């Protein structure tokens, strides 16, 4: 079945450092890919998405490119801020369930940014 693998955290960075969170996936079809973020005490929020190969999703300075050849969707940001401290989840739309709202999530990566 479909699956998502994220780099394990926690990731601790200083403010203004470069961020990369690795995400790879396994899917039988052609899923859409997502990054969701969960701030402390809150529900998940969609950060960005890409729906087909070579698409680049971007939002709030974060970027990720849908790489079909490497089955990856790594999240990057050029300069992180303390306010970016959160848990980041990579996800894909399940390809075995038709066109529904089922998402497969990675384990999540905790990012802590220190001033």
Residue list 42-101, contact with another protein (CB under 8 A)? 42-46, 49, 89, 91-94, 97-101
Of residues 25 and 93, the one with the C-beta less far from another protein? 93
Query: Binding of another protein at residue 109 (CB under 8 A)?
Result: no
CB atoms inside a 10 Å sphere around CB 8: 11
Of residues 17 and 110, the one with the C-beta less far from another protein? 110
Contact with another protein (CB under 8 A) among 47, 64, 104, 113: 104
Query: Binding of another protein at residue 108 (CB under 8 A)?
Result: yes
Looking only at the bridges linking them, the beta strands covering 109-114 and 11-14 are parallel
- Which of 16, 31, 19 is CA-nearest to residue 106? 31
- Which of 45, 53, 35, 40 is CA-nearest to residue 86? 40
Of residues 70 and 99, the one with the C-beta less far from another protein? 99
Residue list 8-37, contact with another protein (CB under 8 A)? 32, 34, 36
Largest CA distance in the chain: 45
């Amino acid at each position: 079945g479909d699956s998502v693998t994220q780099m394990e955290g926690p990731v601790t960075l200083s403010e203004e450092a470069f961020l990369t969170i690795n995400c790879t996936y396994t899917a039988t079809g052609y899923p859409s890919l997502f990054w969701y973020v969960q701030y402390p005490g809150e529900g998940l929020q969609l950060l960005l998405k890409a729906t087909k190969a070579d698409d680049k999703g971007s939002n709030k300075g974060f970027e990720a490119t849908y790489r079909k050849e490497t089955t990856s969707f790594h999240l990057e940001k050029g300069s992180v801020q303390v306010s970016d401290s959160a848990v980041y989840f990579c996800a894909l739309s399940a390809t075995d369930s038709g066109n529904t709202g089922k998402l497969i999530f990675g384990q999540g990566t905790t990012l802590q940014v220190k001033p």
